[in-house]
Amino acid sequence: MFVDRNLLFDDALDMGDAAGSRCSTYSVDLGAAKDLARGKQLYVVIIIEESFATSTSINFLFVTDTVATLASPTTQIETGAIAIASLTAGRAPIVIPIGTCIDTEEQYCGMYYTEAGTGSTAGKVTAFLAVDAP
């Protein structure tokens, strides 16, 4: 699968270096990417690059905001809590169909990660928008 750099939210983001919740490193400017889907289904793809440790679960949220920094994000869709025991390197990607929530009035979209428990001491994710699900 090819990943467009302009649709990348995170590239091997190290979740083990900060506890709690955090937003993605990059956001996608929906204003610049008009008609991004061109009538096709869009997906958020999350790849676990390194197994998670310590925290109990992680909720992956696809968010939008009026600013690129995703300072006050609006949750559009989420996975719900996923136990870290299943977030191991090499597992099948987590694929979230985002459907019509991309039609938001907010200009930027990205990811937000919410950890339950004490915060991970290990774990890396790559997340991006895709037209074709893997």
Question: What's the whole-model pTM score?
Answer: 0.88
pLDDT for 95 equals 95
CA distance 43 to 52: 23
pLDDT for 112 equals 95
Query: Residue-wise pLDDT tens for the chain (134 aa)?
Result: 667 788 999 999 988 766 678 899 999 988 766 566 677 788 999 999 999 877 788 999 999 999 999 999 999 999 999 998 899 999 999 999 987 666 668 889 999 998 887 766 788 999 999 887 77
CATH number of 9-126: 2.60.120.1110
pLDDT for 16 equals 75
E strands within 1-56? 8-14, 21-23, 28-29, 43-53
